[in-house]
Structure 1
Amino acid sequence: VFVDMVDLFEQVMSTYYNYKKLHEEFDPTGILKTYEKVISKAADALDEIAYSLKTGGIPDMNSTLADDIEELKHEIALLEQNNQDGAVSTLGIIALKNIEVNIENILSRIKTINGYFNKAEKKYLKARKIDIRKFTTRQSFDKKLLLQNLTFRSSIFRHSVRVAIVMLIGFIVSRALDFSHSYWILLTILVISKPGFSLTKQRNYERIVGTVIGALIGMGVLWYIHDRNTLFVILLLCMIGSYSFQRKNYVVSVVFLTPYTLVMFDFLGMGTLSVASERIYDTIIGCGIAFGSSYFLFPNWEHQKLKEGMLAILNANKHYFEQVTHFYFETEPSLTKYKVARKEVYVSTANLASLFQRMLSEPKSKQLFIKELHQFTALNHLLSSYIATLSLYYKDHDYHFTQSEALKPIVNNTVYLMELSADRIMNCTDMVTNVPLIRRKATTEAQMEQEISILEQFELIQKVTYDIYKLTEKIRFEVK
């Protein structure tokens, strides 16, 4: 299922056309409504698969999808047939055809995934030979690795030292306060403290909100309910709820945990109101200490990882592009190398997007190059989708380009732009200030539609790469 899902993701993210221009050109014809209907049903089928994976059921695919595809094909053919006056462009119709073929391939893969859940169909599916070792990351453990992490350059080491110091501060504060359960301060600090500022901030908010709401619920339960059997049932339900939501929703988990603690203390014969108020005070004190330490004590800001994340996605897209170009220049390209390169793009894209989201929750003064980073992330995602489209032209549409020599100048210039962008990020150099775009020769009538599409896709990739190259002029990291 996972292998097919990765291939499916590549098909979904592939971009065949400028969709804004597509809407301007084809909205009056009404054909895009049919596309919308088919895509919505395909999305519902994916929701069915996700739900079945969670519940262990068997997904059900909409039986009308095949008829919808035939209707879509008929509408495209009719549009092409009636386009004698040239109201819509030939390239626009080619784009519609490519999108339709892509939807068909997506539905075919969804059908294959559905077959994995059905024992009757599963025996007809062919097993794939996959070299798993090339898709997994192995970590070797030795003394050097340990020593490398015993420095303040390691975020984990800084976090460990910070937690140790903060726990000591928390212990001193707890001993100074005349509370019966002051160890809750230490427990709160331990739970709240995270390596990154954004995670600590989020967990801080969730802990305080959950504790206050839970304390109010707990006091209400103990104020109005006095039957011990009923209280015991509530105790069990709160315990189950707390541990059930611990990974999924921390606020809900704490909301259940607090009344569970209060009811348990009531069974032990301790004061309810005083315990609830102390619980709130200890939580606020612990959260305050943990949050303050994340800002002032060996802080770990996301902009410190920005250069590494940007370089990773630039190099991953470069490697991905090089592997895809082999489809058009080599007789027997390696699919395994291509899939490994594709995996690296997805991983680096997800890492950079996560870094960007975490940075948004940090103080404004620490949000370096936030506007440029947003543009950089969007452009690299667009670049990946254009490269994915190029790979699908070869794999799924069986497109070929007979005059590969005509592509080489564009390919070489694109790779050169990627290397210059990475060098700018890495070294903050400006050895080359401008690189012209390589234009293709005018297309001839003899060239087939598929060759024109391939040429245009290579030009789109070069154009986006150039935009990334120009954007890196605005990003300047400190050279260490």
Structure 2
Amino acid sequence: MKVSDKIFATTYNNLSEYFNSTDFSKALLLGFALTVPIIFGVKLDVLQIGITITVGAMLASPSDVSGSIRHKITGILLATLLAMIVSLIGGYLHLSLWLLIPILGILIFCISYIAIYGFRASLISFSGLLALVLSFSSVSDELQPYERMLLIGIGGLWYASLSLLRHFIFPKAPTEYYLSKTLKLTADYLTTRGELVAENKDRTELLKKLLNTQTELTSTHETLRDILISSRTGSGKSEYEGKRMLIFVQLVDMLELAMANPVNYSKTDELFAEEPGQLKDFQNLLFAMSDRLNVIAAHLSSPKKLLKTTKIEEYQQRIKADIEAYTIKNAGSFNENSVMLNNLLKYQNEQIKKIEKIEWLLKNPAQREISLLKKEDSRRFLTKQKYDLDVLVENFNMRSPIFKHSLRLAVMTIIGYSIGMLFAVQNSYWILLTLIVIMRPTFGLTKTRSKERTIGTLIGGALAVGIVLLTKNTTVYGVLAIISLIIAFSMVQRNYKAAATFITLSVVFIYALLRPDIFNVIQYRVTDTLIGAGLATLGNLLLWPAWEIQSMQKTLLETVKANRIYLEEIVGFYNKKGTVPTEYKVARKKAFLEMSDLSVAFQRMTQEPKSKQKHLDKLYEIAMLNHTFLSSLASLSTYILNNPTTPASENFNMVSGKIVKNLLDAETILEESISSEREKNDLDTEDIFEATFGNKIVFSEQEIQKEDDFHLKIEEAHLVREQLRWLLAMSRKMQKIVREIEF
């Protein structure tokens, strides 16, 4: 494929994904919700009423994020209620400056502190902050505060009804979009795995890309899990939702299987250096599976158009022939490479079965042919948020990042408003608006948002000047304002710089319709944004800064703990056999989520000032160590779950027990901040391992004579032994690193 064709294909796929996304459909809905009241206001000569209803719809919209419809509507209604209360209070804040400023600070703190209840609560909090800031504008000065409150409520209900209507017209849209996204991300993950198999002197960038894809995939899993499980719980037993849930289960298993590929690349490098043809075949098989997942994603809603392919089967046969040739070549002696190749092929065969199962489920098999998950089991996979008053009390201290953020935002809002009043800025509430949009609990995210907001505003201002100089047509301004607003809202989560550009364009064009001094509007818009962005950055730098190192200890503790519980579930299943318990799957989900959180936390730390990036090398090492540990757990559990295994030996339980103890010791160090002088273990890793398993696999003559049984036993012994050795070494290393880090 030519470079130009690749660029065209990538651009087409990105645009297609954008226009099919829930972000774009929500932006269209919001554009409609904001435009209709204003049009009616103009037609009926009640523009102030139309504008206020529009403001109500806008304040309700932030809570309309991906998730179950019940959670969405609840969030929208709570955001509307908060906006109404805050707007009523804001309407009576025409007090003396000395009285207004402390009341403003207290209100900002209280509203911001609601974010302690999680992501959706933070969006409801944002609606409240936005309502308070907009109460300082002159948007609806002609209305009484109680009238304004009621109209904002009508706007919120208007938006909620539209959101419900969209759900009833397109009930499957969120499920299809996120399922398609999960398929594509899984395909990307397999592709990166294929690239990692190749001999590379430095795999750092590929491993970073793999970790980023895994983080995004885990986040998408959580969203899709919420949509599917909440939908089934709320609407009864839906065959469609049930089958989509089973497809999702296959994709979760595929992530675990993909992680289960051998993580010790030095051995595969040695083997594939001798047999480069085998490397190419293994890579091509991974790429063929990736391509198939992308094709399935493209035809998710129209599976009848999904054409059969023999590409995967062809590469399967080639690898099988490669392994047979290699085994014949090295006949007469036990060869670990042969076992490793067979294990590699086994994993890929399991992945292929998952893909085939997905295709079979898409062909709409009869209900009796499939076994749907029980509702009571599926509910256990949802991440529950506590809404007790105790949460507010527990976090009301300087150790809580949200408490510090609320306090910081309140102080900077007071300073920003004071600067606006002192220098008689035309729209001083724009400074406050910039502050509440940009300021985040962590310095890295605030700095990034400040930079992107500033650049976006400057670009938007420059584009607006060019358009205004080219035309004075108010119809053009109106059309561009609506288009810019839709694009801006659809880009907020994807590309904040682009969103800031289009928000600036929409604001400028809206003011161009209302006022003649458009160049002054652009000037003040840019000035206020620069002041707000500067204050946001300074606030996070100087006022009770929440550096990532302060919360990294807890993040690491949760990751190690989740890996330990996952390991305990694997050991428990290996001993008991039988049906895979729900506890195992819940533990696996938790381990993936915590690993994702650790990865994101480390990325945030890299955005902080160099002086605050304490122990960055060690934290990177332990983040990668936890990822590798999770991959090794996935490898062990995948083999145990998908193969008939012998009873767990005493040696297995002794070594796995030691690994668990090492992880518990690491948790203790993280919990108690024990110094590096802590007493060390009595035996090092290799001594412990060899004292139980020995330094090589040994079988009796009777076992060797039973050929079929012997082959399975040696395969099991090799994989279990190697993974335990690897896990033990990593658990010991975790102890060492966390002991050296001063949090």
Instruction: Tell me if TM exceeds 0.5.
Output: yes
Contact 1:115/1:122, CA 8 A, preserved across alignment: no
Contact 1:326/1:333, CA 8 A, preserved across alignment: no
1:129 aligns with 2:383: no
1:455 aligns with 2:721: yes
Match of 1:436 among 681, 684, 696: 684
Aligned-pair identity in percent equals 28
Distance, in Å, in 2 between the alignment partners of 1:124 and 1:67 is: 29
State the AA in 1 paired with 2:742. Answer: R
Contact 2:560/2:667, CA 8 A, preserved across alignment: yes
- Residue matched to 1:283: 529
Written as runs of structure 1 = structure 2, the 5 A alignment for 1:14-413 is 14-16=260-262, 18-29=264-275, 30-51=277-298, 56=301, 58=303, 60=306, 62-84=309-331, 90-119=335-364, 124-129=369-374, 131-332=377-578, 335-398=581-644, 400-402=645-647, 404-413=649-658
Contact 2:554/2:670, CA 8 A, preserved across alignment: no
Deviation at 1:38, TM superposition (A): 0.6
Quickly say closer, same or farther: Cα 1:156–1:359, change in 2 above 3 A. Answer: same
Contact 1:425/1:475, CA 8 A, preserved across alignment: no
Count of paired positions: 472
> Which stretch of structure 1 is more off in the superposition, 445-454 or 352-361?
445-454
Contact 2:697/2:718, CA 8 A, preserved across alignment: yes
> Which stretch of structure 1 is more off in the superposition, 445-454 or 254-263?
445-454
Deviation at 1:381, TM superposition (A): 1.1
> Which stretch of structure 1 is more off in the superposition, 324-333 or 152-161?
324-333
Quickly say closer, same or farther: Cα 1:80–1:39, change in 2 above 3 A. Answer: same
Deviation at 1:152, TM superposition (A): 2.5
State the AA in 2 paired with 1:344. Answer: K
**Superposed structure 1 runs of 4+ greater than 6 Å apart:** none
State the AA in 2 paired with 1:45. Answer: R
Distance, in Å, in 2 between the alignment partners of 1:339 and 1:191 is: 38
Structure 1: unaligned runs, 5 residues or longer: none
Distance, in Å, in 1 between the alignment partners of 2:648 and 2:432 is: 70
Deviation at 1:225, TM superposition (A): 2.0
Deviation at 1:403, TM superposition (A): 6.2
Distance, in Å, in 1 between the alignment partners of 2:368 and 2:478 is: 51
State the AA in 1 paired with 2:551. Answer: K
State the AA in 2 paired with 1:209. Answer: I
Quickly say closer, same or farther: Cα 1:471–1:363, change in 2 above 3 A. Answer: same
Deviation at 1:126, TM superposition (A): 3.1
State the AA in 2 paired with 1:444. Answer: V
Deviation at 1:121, TM superposition (A): 7.6
Contact 1:417/1:466, CA 8 A, preserved across alignment: yes
- Residue matched to 1:467: 733
1:476 aligns with 2:476: no
Three-state SS of the structure 1 residue aligned to 2:596 is: helix
State TM-score, norm by structure 2: 0.60
Distance, in Å, in 2 between the alignment partners of 1:150 and 1:457 is: 44
Contact 2:477/2:512, CA 8 A, preserved across alignment: no
Please identify which structure carries the higher helix content: 2
Cα RMSD for the two superposed structures: 2.3
Three-state SS of the structure 2 residue aligned to 1:203 is: helix
Contact 1:317/1:345, CA 8 A, preserved across alignment: yes
Deviation at 1:192, TM superposition (A): 0.9
Render the CA deviation track for 1:283-330: whole Å, top value 9, x for unaligned.
101111111111111222111111111111111111111111123322
State TM-score, norm by structure 1: 0.92
Structure 2: unaligned runs, 5 residues or longer: 1-246, 704-712
Deviation at 1:411, TM superposition (A): 1.8
Distance, in Å, in 1 between the alignment partners of 2:299 and 2:455 is: 34
> Which stretch of structure 1 is more off in the superposition, 347-356 or 69-78?
69-78
Match of 1:416 among 639, 650, 661: 661
